[in-house]
Amino acid sequence: MHAAPALPRILTIAGTDPTGGAGVQADIKSIQAAGGYSYSVVTSLVAQNTTGVQEIFTPPVEFLRAQLRSVTDDVEIDAIKIGMLGTTEIIDVVRDFLTAHAQTCRVVLDPVMVASSSDRLLTREAEAALRELARLADVITPNLPELAVLAGAETATEFDAAIAQAQGLARELGTTVIVKGGHLGGAHADNAVVTAESVHRVPVQRVDTKNTHGTGCSFSSALATRLGAGFDTPAATEWASRWLHEAIAHADALAVGRGHGPVDHGHMNRRMQRAADTRPEHFLLIDAPPTPPLAAPAGPHTQALWDASAPYLTAIMELPFIRALGDGTLDRADFLFYLEQDAYYLVRYARSLHALGGAWASDADEAIADEQEMQRTWLADLDRETLPSPVTRAYTDFLLASTLGEPAAIGQAAVLPCYWLYYEVGARLSERNHDAHPYRDWLATYAGDEFLASVRGAIDRCERTLADAPDALDAAVRACAVASRYELDFFDQADRAWVIRDV
């Protein structure tokens, strides 16, 4: 008996791109980014770059058959992604291959038929053959011009019209169609999982960039990988859409090519690697300029504390989580993850404030009461025990250790960033708040006058305590810096939680 594979094993059948943005080169990168192991079979050798296609060489179909035999004679396949096929003869070979070998794996067909310039890439005969091949696929991922060709209609100019075309096609071919809104205009570039009976819409924000070379290849490969891992089509589509959005958002920084450049397939994985850095000497290293506070320090001691926090505020405001929270596009699941962790955090934060006594304890009672009401509203349907993430546990353990086991000056400095940084973030985001904002109540809570009064009181108390204990300043500054770093990680963790989810 063989052990279960460590990764889903994905076969891509497609053409090439020597500059790496599309074809099997992009497929391999996408499969690896989505958590799979890639095999590749080449249909055509394409001389192309970011400016266009210069030449195509198609080897004899017998060599295609030989490549496919090499795969099936030796390895097992969990999912297949099909890209550029090019000719009727190649389509026939792939159809025979699927009929013989794809009964137990998922098949994703990216029907490469129409270039972004609207040029047809297949003969009418080959288009008909590809349409029949689509009946063997579990999912097809056409762009809007390709969807129109398959549906025998004009290219849709509105998302609802594209969904109508896709639903008819799904019914006729007995497959699932992914509608991709990237070719449409506007602020949104949503995708949709369309079957004969249902539509599952996946919100996607449009990225203003010309560098989208190979997005069709990349999306379909990531989708196939998630399907091969056992995810259902809606979940796989949501993951692939979100991963690709991040790859597109960072495409410009690659600076590859003079034309329409590739996306950054590896950005998410590099981001996760940075978050996994456990080197102690790197914990408080931060490459961000300081941001001046809206709530002023009360004196030189709290100025020193703010100097330790200020770069973290800059970094927090640049987080994708915070930017999406501000403009109202934050995924609801991300916000609920944040709130659930915040619910755990607040109980232990209140314990830390009570340990400090006096006005700190009063603040704890008032702030926790208001916040917990929002928790009950948002998390009313939560049917599980709230458990802490590693970040949340580390942060709350640090706060409890600082307030219960250290002098008052250090404990106060440790809890201060949750006052000060939260106000600074909330006040800046409040400028984007409005009555229809989906997170209006959260934004209002941390930008209000009542919370500001609590923040000023906390700053004043810290200043007085440190004035009476000047020898504790260096340790207090470090405690404030550590708490500020945890604030950054606390906000950022929801943007990592979606990457790894159980089937």
On whether the 277-498 domain is CATH 1.20.910.10, my answer is yes
pLDDT at residue 374, as a whole number: 65
Q: What backbone phi and psi angles, to 5 degrees, belong to 361?
A: -65, -40
The reply to whether 329 belongs to the active site is no
Percent of the chain whose pLDDT exceeds 90: 86
Catalytic site residue from 19, 50, 176, 212: 212
pLDDT at residue 365, as a whole number: 83
pLDDT at residue 386, as a whole number: 85
How many Cβ atoms sit within 10 Å of the Cβ of residue 17? 24
What is the tens place of the pLDDT at every residue in 11-41? 999 999 999 999 999 999 999 999 999 999 9
Average pLDDT over residues 276-302: 95
What is the tens place of the pLDDT at every residue in 226-269? 999 999 999 999 999 999 999 999 999 999 999 999 999 999 99
The reply to whether 237 belongs to the active site is no
pLDDT at residue 367, as a whole number: 65
Catalytic site residue from 105, 217, 418, 480: 217
pLDDT band for position 501 (cuts 50, 70, 90)? low
Which among 331, 326, 251, 313 is positioned nearest to 483, based on CA atoms?
A: 313
pLDDT at residue 375, as a whole number: 66
The reply to whether 212 belongs to the active site is yes
What is the tens place of the pLDDT at every residue in 188-201? 999 999 999 999 99
CATH code, 9-252+264-270: 3.40.1190.20
The reply to whether 217 belongs to the active site is yes
Question: In CATH terms, are 9-252+264-270 and 277-498 the same topology?
Answer: no
Rounded to the nearest integer, the mean pLDDT of the chain is: 93
Catalytic site residue from 155, 175, 176, 215: 215
Q: What angle do CA 448, 450, 456 make, to 5 degrees?
A: 100
Residue spans of the domains in the chain: they are 9-252+264-270, 277-498
Residues in the chain: 503
Question: For residues 482, 487, 490 and 492, what is the CA-based torsion angle, rounded to 10 degrees?
Answer: -110
Higher pLDDT residue, 441 or 161? 161
335 contacts: CB under 8 Å, gap ≥ 6: 325, 378, 439, 494
pLDDT at residue 113, as a whole number: 87
Average pLDDT over residues 462-480: 98
Q: What backbone phi and psi angles, to 5 degrees, belong to 104?
A: -110, 10
CB of 188 within 8 A of CB of 210? no
What is the tens place of the pLDDT at every residue in 84-117? 998 999 999 999 999 999 999 999 999 998 765 5
CB of 262 within 8 A of CB of 256? yes
Catalytic site residue from 180, 326, 411, 418: 180
220 contacts: CB under 8 Å, gap ≥ 6: 81, 83, 108, 109, 110, 141
- Cα→Cα distances 441→285, 370, 410, 430, Å: 34, 11, 32, 10
pLDDT at residue 380, as a whole number: 74
What is the tens place of the pLDDT at every residue in 175-191? 999 999 998 989 999 99
475 pLDDT higher than 50: yes
pLDDT band for position 503 (cuts 50, 70, 90)? very low
pLDDT at residue 447, as a whole number: 82
* Residue 183: strand pairing partners: none
Catalytic site residue from 20, 86, 214, 411: 214
285 contacts: CB under 8 Å, gap ≥ 6: none
Catalytic site residue from 15, 35, 86, 216: 216
Q: Is the dihedral of CA 219, 220, 221, 224 positive or negative?
A: positive
What is the tens place of the pLDDT at every residue in 145-156? 999 999 999 999
pLDDT at residue 118, as a whole number: 58
362 contacts: CB under 8 Å, gap ≥ 6: none
Average pLDDT over residues 47-70: 95
